[in-house]
Amino acid sequence: MTLRARLTAAFLAVVLGPVLLGAVFVGVAVAAVSDQRATERLTAGADNLRAALGVTCQRLRIAAEAAALLGERPDAAQVAVGRGLARAIEVAGANGTPVAVAGDLPARPWADCAAPTGSAFAAIAASVDVLDAQGRRVGRASAVEPVDATLLQWLGAATGVRVSSLAGPQLTADDTKVVNLARDLVPGTTGTTEAGLLVRRLDPQPGQPLTLAVSVPEPDMQGLYAVLVAVVVCAGLVAISVAWWLARSTTQPLTELAQAVERVAGGDLGARVPVRSQDEVGRLGQTFNRMTREMQGYVQALTASRDQLRGQLGVLGDTLAGTHDLDRILQVILQTATAATGAQAGVVLMVDQAGVDLRGQVGEGLAGIDVTELRLSPGEGLLGTVAATGEPMRGRVDRDGPALSPQEPRCVTYVAVPIAAPAAGPTTGLEPQSDRPPAARGVLALYDRHGFDEFDDADLVTLRTFAGQAAVAVDNVRVHEEAQRLSLTDPLTGLSNYRYLRESLRREVERASRFGRALAVLALDLDHFKEVNDTHGHAAGDAVLAEFARRLRAEIREVDFAFRQGGEEFVVLLPETDAGGAAVLAERLGAAVRRSPVLVISSTAGQPPRRIPVTVSIGIAVFPVHGATGAAVLEAADDALYAAKAGGRDTYRLAGSATSGKASAEVTPGAAKAAQPPRQSRGG
């Protein structure tokens, strides 16, 4: 890749990155400002509404006072209404009987401007006492303003927001939604309707006698986002079209920029490029300087978020402990540990099966090192010391030691903790106390934090948490492997059980079908085994079964499969073997069983060992000759076994033939030996 092409790619990365970040920042900032302005508008509208209602109440009081002063005139109330001071006025005598009424007087109750209570009012009113010449109260004048569409529209025009009454009329469907939402709001709080209206509820107070809701539309940001996307797309197109041309004029001045980039790559985020011109290279230098400043901010933000990441380690550990792929578990633990602590590299070593040496398991960020070839003895180097002592270590190699082994990764700073066995569970309290740490099963180590900072105590605590989860995961994997082995193995004979037989038969039939090969199936049954149990006891019967399984394993090849189907019944799968080869094995196996009785040592003191003669009957079937499926071939072998039993036992039968294995018309000994593949001994 040419320098010009590299500079073009670098130019696009440096220019488009800040453009995208700026666009996102502008979009977020403008959205936040718009939301804030909408909230401020809602707050201002609420304040203006209180002021407008205060003016209305003052106007009504003036109207009531005017009607009270002109109370001797019969048209006093009408005069106040005619001047627009109120929509309706009532002058009542001392006993409360109306004396004069002007305008359309709404039904009671009315919300009193001076002392508002409740919320279900259809009108607001201001009342004053009517006094005679001696100052005695002779009545009361009330100026009333109905809470109707006229008043709400006037309040909306005066305040610049939509005004809705929780007890008055709803002009539109939006008013209904606003009122329904406002009823559920706490006074002074803000909510949003499905139509995008910000709503605030205002409860009665002196000067504002009504329960009202004010609302404003939320700002529409779709247009702004479309503009931002267009700007970003245009900027990208322009940058791509001119990048190659700009790259040609920037090759020589890039020396200083390359040096600064190397400093940043080394961890010095304070590196700056001197800007000597205002051309494209100068602007590139300015962009680089801005990028490094932003990177410093990002590093600080990452450092702050590191503590938050540590809080999630427990959940991560529980998740990892439930898997059974040890290498993947350890790789995930190591990757998460390096991310949580800011380490540049790390390694996990586990004790080998012999329990002697440490073997490299997984690594992260180790350039030029094959982790699987890493071998250390306990006490050797840094990692061997941690494994031998069982104590975590952190510091600098040149200051704190210990010296690194030639096989260990090179580093300046390090933190390493042992992977020890987890606690064994509840104790009685009577166990002997020991100050020695538990034996280490491995070591988890991290090297060289970004920024050249040393690992601190918090990193050590974090890594010990990961090591504990790794120990739990190792135990889970070992328990799972042992449980899986036991679930597929017959505990008495050590052969595979019936469950594994079904899976192996299906797999081998598929393989034989795919490659066009034969698969022989032998069904075996020990003759008169019930008499062995009845005569010599079940312990002797178990010994006979175990010895038969040993002889069976000694006669078959390593590629063959032997299973205990149940009781004294066994099955053998012979891949790539035809009827002749199966007959050879049947003859050899029958002879091996018949040749020497089974020696059974009595569990009762003083009784001599017993020799129990054993013979076996065998049925043979071959896929695909005797069946198109595994189940069919196994059933054909069982039928052949029954035929061998009926033919006198201690013999074999081929499926579909009534001839004994000792004198078979279909399978002669010579043909059988020629068809049988070479036997591979299992060492028994």
Report DSSP state, residue 665: S
CB neighbours of 96 closer than 8 A, spacing ≥ 6?
140
Nearest one of 36, 196, 202 to 116, comparing CA atoms = 202
| Predicted pLDDT of residue 453 | 76
pLDDT at position 658 over 50: no
Distance CA 215, CA 193 (A): 10
Grade residue 324 by pLDDT with cuts at 50, 70 and 90.
Answer: low
> Could you give phi then psi for residue 198, rounded to 5 degrees?
-80, 130
| Predicted pLDDT of residue 427 | 43
Least confident of 34-38, 290-294, 297-301, 434-438: 434-438
| Predicted pLDDT of residue 270 | 80
| Predicted pLDDT of residue 311 | 55
Could you tell me which residue, 450 or 661, shows the higher pLDDT? 450
> Could you give phi then psi for residue 620, rounded to 5 degrees?
-120, 135
| Predicted pLDDT of residue 231 | 81
pLDDT at position 615 over 70: yes
CA distances from 274 to 57, 259, 285, 446, 474 (A): 69, 12, 7, 37, 55
Secondary structure of residue 129 in the 3-state scheme: strand
Grade residue 653 by pLDDT with cuts at 50, 70 and 90.
Answer: very high
Residue whose token pair is 């580093």: 411
The pair of three-digit structure tokens given for residue 330, joined into one six-digit string: 């350890």
pLDDT at position 351 over 50: yes
571-601 residue pLDDT tens: 999 999 999 999 999 999 999 888 888 877 6
Distance CA 506, CA 4 (A): 61
pLDDT at position 561 over 70: yes
CATH 3.30.70.270 in the chain is located at 498-675
Read off the pLDDT of each residue in 206-213 and give the average, rounded to a whole number: 75
CATH number of 311-423+438-486: 3.30.450.40
411-465 residue pLDDT tens: 888 888 888 766 544 444 444 444 555 567 788 888 887 776 788 888 888 888 8
pLDDT at position 330 over 70: yes
CB neighbours of 425 closer than 8 A, spacing ≥ 6?
none
CA distances from 680 to 221, 523, 553, 676 (A): 78, 21, 11, 12
Distance CA 92, CA 112 (A): 16
Grade residue 117 by pLDDT with cuts at 50, 70 and 90.
Answer: low
Read off the pLDDT of each residue in 54-61 and give the average, rounded to a whole number: 83
pLDDT at position 360 over 70: yes
pLDDT at position 393 over 70: yes
Nearest one of 318, 306, 338 to 409, comparing CA atoms = 338
Could you tell me which residue, 330 or 290, shows the higher pLDDT? 290
The CATH superfamily of 498-675 is Reverse transcriptase/Diguanylate cyclase domain (3.30.70.270)
Residue whose token pair is 């010009």: 4
Grade residue 657 by pLDDT with cuts at 50, 70 and 90.
Answer: low
CB neighbours of 670 closer than 8 A, spacing ≥ 6?
none
Q: What DSSP line would sit under 130-149, residue for residue? A: EE-TTS-EEEEEEEEEE-SH
Read off the pLDDT of each residue in 222-238 and give the average, rounded to a whole number: 78
CATH 3.30.450.40 in the chain is located at 311-423+438-486
Q: Is 173 exposed, middle or buried (0-12, 13-18, 19+ CB in 10 A)?
A: exposed
CB neighbours of 474 closer than 8 A, spacing ≥ 6?
326, 350, 419, 441, 442
Percent of the chain with pLDDT over 90: 11
